[in-house]
């Protein structure tokens, strides 16, 4: 098994008592870490509701925790997402926005692509007046190896439709995102 080979390569005895079942546990962990490959995020947004009584203001789901893995080092990425859209005659259940974040986060990623995937999918499926996504995350590839800088977070954003074209909508959304460091869930 590949994980035993890694243990041997780092100089660990893969047959010792504490590691004997670790490869099986790692397989289960990796199935969870990368379960997003089995999800179609577009399907989460398929069921919408039209009974909105004309609601056409911003909808924001804030502070969505996510865990991902950097595609360059497979190191953890831990962060929070803020997702907004301005509906066009239909809305989606709010848990579905979190599911879209989760489905894309549970893949090997770079944060810039993750941000774009979330926003683009919401725009493509819901066809709203605008979509805004901000991710703030810490990357273990910068804190646990290499340059080893702690308390650093990366912030990425994707603004589409009215959030790109209307500075007032953009500012209203950005005002809902706290300053400071990202903490784990």
Active site residues: 70-73, 111, 139, 141
Q: State the Cα–Cα distance between residues 82 and 98, nearest whole angstrom.
A: 10
Helix (H/G/I), strand (E/B), else coil: 109: strand
Which among 133, 132, 129, 153 is positioned nearest to 143, based on CA atoms?
153
Collect all residues with Cβ–Cβ distance below 8 Å to 90 and sequence separation of at least 6.
48, 49, 50, 52, 126
Contact of 135 with 101, CB cutoff 8 Å: no
DSSP for residue 8: H
Residues in the chain: 185
Written as one string, the DSSP assignment of 53-80 is TT--S-EEEEEEEEEEEETTT--EEEEE
């Amino acid at each position: 098994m590949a994980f035993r080979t890694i243990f041997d390569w780092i100089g660990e005895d893969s047959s010792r008592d504490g590691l004997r079942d670790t490869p099986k546990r790692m397989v289960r962990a990796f199935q969870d870490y990368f379960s997003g490959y089995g999800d179609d995020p577009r399907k989460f947004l398929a069921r919408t509701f039209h009974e909105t009584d004309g609601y056409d203001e911003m909808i924001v789901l804030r502070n969505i925790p996510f865990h991902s893995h950097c595609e360059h080092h497979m190191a953890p990425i831990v962060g929070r997402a803020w997702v907004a859209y301005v509906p066009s005659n239909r809305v989606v259940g709010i848990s579905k926005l979190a599911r879209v974040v989760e489905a894309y986060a549970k893949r090997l990623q770079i944060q810039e692509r993750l941000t774009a995937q979330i926003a683009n999918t919401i725009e493509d499926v819901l066809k709203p007046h605008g979509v805004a996504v901000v991710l703030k995350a810490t990357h273990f590839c910068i804190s646990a190896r290499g340059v080893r800088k702690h308390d650093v977070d990366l912030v990425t954003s994707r603004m589409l439709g009215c959030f790109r074209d209307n500075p007032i909508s953009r500012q209203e959304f950005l005002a809902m995102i706290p300053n400071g460091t990202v903490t784990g869930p």
